[in-house]
Structure 1
Amino acid sequence: MHTPYRPDPPVVLDRHEGPYGEVVLRRHGDLLQIIANGMFLMDTSDGRSERLLIDAACEALDGRPRPSVLIGGLGVGFSLAHAATDPRWGRISVVERERAIIDWHLDGPLSGLSREALADPRTEILHTDLIAYVNGSFAGANASSDTYDALCLDIDNGPGWTVTEGNESLYSPAGLAACKARLNPGGVLAVWSAQPSPAFDSALRNAGFQQVRTEEIPVARGVPDVVHLATRAA
């Protein structure tokens, strides 16, 4: 009689209680997983959607030389690592509000995924809340006036499935206006979501964005992940 296979339970590597609640890094088999306030955010299993988030934004810029990109959310580092492998990007800024996640990349279990990207001279890490940053209330040098050619945002499971209630404001008319103000003319906003959201597409159009569309990322089962794309008028 064969013993049924039972995968080992996840092992918590670090747990941190911060101003936005609890964030946990755990290992499950070969995977590293980030859990925020009990909600699964992401793991190191794939990275296709994070790479598409970066590539779709770059392609939408249609050959703009040395474009700058703001990545909202460091996560497990897939988006940053992929951007740093692409010589087309100029400045690569990453906003991350959780100090613990930054530390896991600097000298912790996630450092192997992001070490080269963090050493890239184009890269800067901004320890602040993305919403505070786009609204201009971050105290870093020139932060209130910084603009970018692309904003690639992946801080929630989607516009309708946020990690914390405060994140909902990012997808509101005021939040989208603030994002648009952070974009250079002709710049691109790319927002990752675990499922399509026609309502969010409409919100982007109502906020004055052009060329609003979605790109799907096939998944093994269930509805596809998507990247919502929109362009600020030139």
Structure 2
Amino acid sequence: MIPRELLATAVVPGGGDPLRLIRRGTEFSIMLGANELMNSRLSGSEEALATLAQARLTDVEKPAVLIGGLGMGFTLRAALASFGQQAQITVAELVPEIVDWARGPMAHLHEGTLDSPQVQVCVQDVGGLIRAGRGRYDAILLDVDNGPDGLSREGNDALYTLAGLSEARAALRPGGVLAVWSSGPDPRFTARLRKAGFDVSEETVRATASGRGARHTIWIAVRRS
């Protein structure tokens, strides 16, 4: 059996248990307590968060994109590939060590994306960028915590309230897209999106690019004019 190796830990601002970066052979995982938040083998739904959003913005030549949560970089990689060379992408990551890990032990997963001239990385709460960005973005991609039913930090819950969704709508240009990743469905969240002024579709996506693994949920919410 290949042993698991603890590489590093990180404190989530305003959270409880520390994050743990674990390596097992060539596989990486980020754990919170007994919960595995992400795994380097499971990239399918994180990539779909970007590709599904981009599919709704085909007429935007120079999209401004905000990604909430760097993670293992799968959403960022997919966003760079799908939104095109004219896109400007801002990544908000609350935990500075995750950015350090992306430039250190997991650099090969990120494939140099953090150094792209199209990318700006901000070590801060994505909620602050949303509130400060009225009418700034064509797409906001949220892969924060575990989705609307969070695990790591109570402060993340504010993103998914009616007030938080209204702030996201205000940060989007007319026709802009809010894409939200979740570990599972949440009918009450779907209703809140509609109440906040979005036309909503709910997609079920497999955890792996091969179409296997757990089923995750992605909401594609288009701002009504």
Seen in structure 2, the aligned counterparts of structure 1 residues 162 and 17 have a Cα distance that, compared at 3 Å, is closer
Q: 1:62 to 1:84 in 2, by over 3 A?
A: closer
Structure 1: tracts of 5 or more residues without a match: 1-6, 137-143
Check whether the contact 1:170–1:176 (CA below 8 A) recurs between aligned residues: yes
Distance change (3 Å), C-alpha of 1:39 and 1:133: farther
Letter in 2 for 1:8: I
Which one has a bigger Cα radius of gyration?
1
Percent of pairs with identical residues: 36
Q: Which of 6, 17, 30 is the aligned partner of 2:11?
A: 17
Give the superposition deviation at 1:34.
1.2
Q: TM-score normalised to the size of structure 1?
A: 0.86
Secondary structure of 1:156 counterpart:
coil
Check whether the contact 1:67–1:88 (CA below 8 A) recurs between aligned residues: no
Aligned position for 1:154: 143
Offset from partner CA, 1:34-81 (integer Å, 9 cap, x none)? 123553210100311011100010001132212111111000111111
Residue 227 (structure 1) shift: 0.6
1:170 aligns to what?
A: 159
The two structures, once aligned, show a CA RMSD in angstroms of 1.9
Contact 2:69 2:143 (8 Å CA) reproduced:
yes
Q: How big is each residue's C-alpha offset from its partner over 1:114-148, in whole Å with a ceiling of 9 and x where there is no partner?
A: 24211211101011012233233xxxxxxx55711
Superposition pairs for residues 1-80 of structure 1, below 5 Å? 7-21=1-15, 22-36=18-32, 39-80=35-76
One-letter amino acid matched to 1:91: Q
Change (3 A) 1:132 1:63: same
Query: What is the CA–CA distance in structure 2 between the aligned matches of 1:160 and 1:201, rounded to whole Å?
Result: 13
Tell me, yes or no, if the aligned pair for 2:14 and 2:154 is still in contact at 8 Å: no
Does the 8 Å CA contact 2:135/2:170 hold for their aligned counterparts? no
Specify the code of the residue in structure 1 equivalent to 2:47: R
Q: Which runs of 5+ in 2 are unaligned?
A: none
Task: Please report the TM-score for the alignment, with normalisation by the length of structure 2.
Answer: 0.89
Aligned to 2:101: 104
Greater length-normalized contact order (CA 8 Å, ≥ 6 residues apart): 2
Q: How does 1:121-136 map to 2 (within 5 A)?
A: 121-136=117-132
